Structure 1
Amino acid sequence: MDVLNYKNIVKLVLLDKYKILIVFLIFAAVSVFYALSLPNIYTSRIVVSSTINEGGKLSGSLGGLASMAGISLGGGEMSPEVVKESLVSNSFLGNFVKENNLGSILFAAKSFDPSTKKFIFDESIYDSKLSEWTRKVKYPQDVIPAIDELAKKLKESLVVGYDRKTKLITVTLSSYSPDFAKETLTLLISDFNMFMKNKEKEEAELTIRYLKDKLNREQVSEIRLALQQLLEDQLKKLALAETKTEYALKVIDNPLRASQKSSPRRSIICLAITLFGTTFFALLLLTFRIARLER
């Protein structure tokens, strides 16, 4: 076979057609077995909008009053993008996982039993019977995951997107349990609103104490008036934080319990493994045949 063209290559491949067929069937069986061994994953979705006033910084008049009084109250602008980044910050997500005892599920759950509605854990990571961590780690990690580890693990199944046109934030969470995904998403937004509310309350309370102290020591009437107006503005902020439930994020579309799995796509997995394995084996046989012909 002096000329190696398309027809000759086909002829060489057909010489091993039975071997290729057997390997095809083996890869098909393996791929089906592998695909069926993968647990179903369900995804829940929630859509929210930022309710924090983008004009959170002092208005021109109040900013002038603050300058007159010789103080700086900060309160920079908090855009929806900043709110989104606060939502996915390691400090918030890590503490969220820790406070709600979600670490064992995120780290050690390997599947979910619909009949008992319980997660099945990898006992080499977490002993569900004793409720103890058993994972093996290297320094400086500890057996119990740290805040940054908890946040990183949650981010593996959490996707947060922001639409610049609609200014809406979309959050999705994937889990072996559709109920867990839905409930955790609801809890995440609720806890974030409380987190931002408490943060704003602390800042407002500190500012109010500072303004009251400065007001008690100030003698100039113009500056006293400026301080009183600034104090009134901070009291309004505090009242808003105390009374507003959806302080940072307002729910536009509540999360629903997923009725269908989002992954794995078993048909594609089977097709990819079978085609890749068979093609690789066929090319390997073809290479050997060509090598023999060239000797």
Structure 2
Amino acid sequence: MTYTKSNTPEKDKVQYVAISPDMFQAQNNDDEIDLRELWNVIWRGKWLIIAITTIFAVASVFYALSLPNIYRSEALLAPADSDQQGGLSGLSGQLGGLASLAGVNLGGGKTDKTALAIEILKSREFFAKFAEKHQILPDLVAAKGWDPVSNKTIYDEDIYSSKKGEWIRNVKPPKRPKPSMQEAKIYFDKAFKINKSIDTGMISIEVMHYSPSVAKQWVDWSIEDINLVMKKRDEDEARKSISYLESQLSKTNIVEQKALLYQLVEEQAKTLMFAEVRKEYIFKTIDKALVTEEKVSPNRAIIVSIVVIFAGILASVILLVRNYIKFK
């Protein structure tokens, strides 16, 4: 029972309006009739829904089958020596106190070489040298599939002529037929991933490509190249340090300073020796990359399922809209 109060110009009056249970029942009956009517509309057009869904399902199957497989190759790495330091900065922790007593300022501090190597791997400069050295641009930009029988990459001949080895794509300036390193880096970032586990400190490098052989090769090359880059950096720094220390030896006659400088030279010589004999300089391979047999994408079953569900919903909406327009 609902009560309402109304004000009139003459005087205030209270008006009582009774809402019976039958009125609520009538409203509920209207809702039930509407839902039943909607279901009847859909049921009468079930063959249209089935037809539309079937067409979409068949089309999605052909589309899913036309998509090329993508494979992933991954390697698990460990820091070769997280405490290893190069150059004078690596000596500051060990001999800093003695050096200051002798009047020699080493400067620097402890560096995380693993983090440095990861950032170098992600850098544009490293990619440019990597792409130029291994000539990966055709496989990176122009690949559209892989032939498992011949184990060869299939190229888009409208972009890259594999027979002539020429870039023939039609692009607007400032782009050129041959992709620039800046443009190619965008493609590479989508295929190349590097992650470091916070819990274990392990590093994983993965590459996704149409060809599992190409994916494995890029992982191997990236590990090899970053080890060489980090090794060369430390070797160059050690040689410069030795050259500087030897020049300081020739300038002093103080025995304590000479002893310290000889120690510093010895430490730099150890760095050079370490770089010479150690192939896996910055990263040690725990689990090598493989030519994988299982694809990672596309998931054709999910693609078909999503399309079928969408087609069913779309067909139902079409029926309801058509029915609404018809009786409007």
TM over 0.5: yes
Q: Which position in structure 1 is the counterpart of 2:206?
A: 172
CA distance in 2, matches of 1:285, 1:69: 90
Instruction: Give the aligned partner of residue 96 of structure 2.
Output: 63
1:41 is matched with which residue?
Answer: 70
Structure 1: distance between partners of 2:234 and 2:272 = 8
Q: Who is 1:161 aligned against?
A: 195
SS at match of 2:91: coil
CA distance in 2, matches of 1:124, 1:61: 60
Aligned residue identity for 1:49: A
Higher mean alpha-carbon deviation, 213-222 vs 251-260, is at 213-222
Question: Which segment is superposed worse, 192-201 or 9-18?
Answer: 9-18
Indicate the residue corresponding to 2:48 in structure 1.
Answer: 19
Deviation digits for residues 63-95 of structure 1, max 9, x if unmatched? Answer: 234545444453641253333233222222332
2:220 to 178, 186, 189: 186
- Contact 1:98–1:147, Cα closer than 8 Å, also in 2: no
| Counterpart-to-counterpart distance in 2, 1:61 and 1:179 | 46
Q: CA, structure 1 residues 65+154, in 2 after alignment: closer, same or farther (shift >3 Å)?
A: farther
**RMSD, matched Cα:** 2.3
Cα 1:52–1:75 change in 2 (3 A) is farther
Q: Is contact 2:73-2:292 (8 Å) kept? A: yes
Q: Alpha carbons of 1:223 and 1:139: their partners in 2 closer, same or farther (altered >3 Å)?
A: farther
Letter in 2 for 1:23: I
* Distance in 1 between residues matched to 2:68 and 2:154, nearest whole Å: 11
Q: 2: distance between equivalents of 1:76 and 1:61?
A: 11
Deviation at 1:49, TM superposition (A): 0.5
In structure 1, list runs of 5 or more residues that go unmatched: none
Equivalent in the alignment of 2:232: 198
Check conservation: 1:109, 1:122, Cα contact below 8 A. yes
Superposed displacement of residue 277, structure 1: 2.8
1:85 to 101, 119, 122: 119
Worse-superposed segment, 151-160 or 164-173: 151-160
Given that 1:66 and 1:73 are in contact with CA atoms closer than 8 Å, whether structure 2 keeps it comes out as no
CA distance in structure 1 between the partners assigned to 2:268 and 2:71 by the alignment: 44
Q: Deviations over 1:229-265 (max 9, x none)?
A: 2221111111111111100110001112212222111
| Alignment match, 2:134 | 100
Query: Relative to structure 1, is the Cα distance of residues 6 and 158 closer, same or farther in structure 2, using a 3 angstrom cutoff?
Result: farther
Q: What is the CA–CA distance in structure 2 between the aligned matches of 1:287 and 1:54, rounded to whole Å?
A: 70
Q: Does 1:151 align with 2:185?
A: yes
**Which moves more between the two structures, 185-194 or 78-87?**
78-87
Distance 2:111 2:202 in 1: 18
Give the residue type in structure 1 aligned to 2:269.
L
Deviates more, 1:69-78 or 1:172-181: 69-78
The TM-score, its normalising length taken from structure 2, stands at 0.81
2:315 to 258, 273, 281: 281
**One-letter code aligned to 1:218:** T
Length-normalised TM-score, structure 1: 0.90
Identify unmatched segments of 5+ residues in structure 2: 1-28
Deviation at 1:195, TM superposition (A): 1.5
- Please report how far the alpha carbon of residue 273 of structure 1 lies from its aligned counterpart in structure 2 after TM superposition: 1.5
Q: CA contact under 8 A between 1:69 and 1:226: conserved in structure 2?
A: no
Q: Give a deviation string over 1:168-223, Cα, whole Å, max 9, x none.
A: 11122112122222222122211221121112111211222122222222343333
- Asked whether the 8 Å contact 2:231–2:281 carries over to 1, the reply is yes
1:221 aligns with 2:261: no
Would you say the 8 A contact 1:97–1:151 is kept in 2?
no
Between the aligned partners of 1:264 and 1:177, the Cα distance in structure 2 is: 14
Larger Rg: 2
- C-alpha change, 1:152 and 1:95, in structure 2 (3 Å) is farther
Aligned length: 294
SS at match of 2:193: strand
Counterpart code for 2:132? K
Equivalent residues of 1:65, 1:227 under 8 A apart: no
The whole-number CA distance in structure 1 between the counterparts of 2:173 and 2:241 is 42
Question: What secondary structure sits across from 2:58 in the alignment?
Answer: helix
Deviation at 1:18, TM superposition (A): 1.7
Q: Is the 8 A contact 2:142 2:156 kept in 1?
A: yes
Is the CA contact 1:66–1:230 (under 8 Å) kept in the aligned structure 2? Answer: no
- Looking at structure 1, the residues matched to 39 and 99 of structure 2 have their Cα atoms a distance apart, in angstroms, of 84
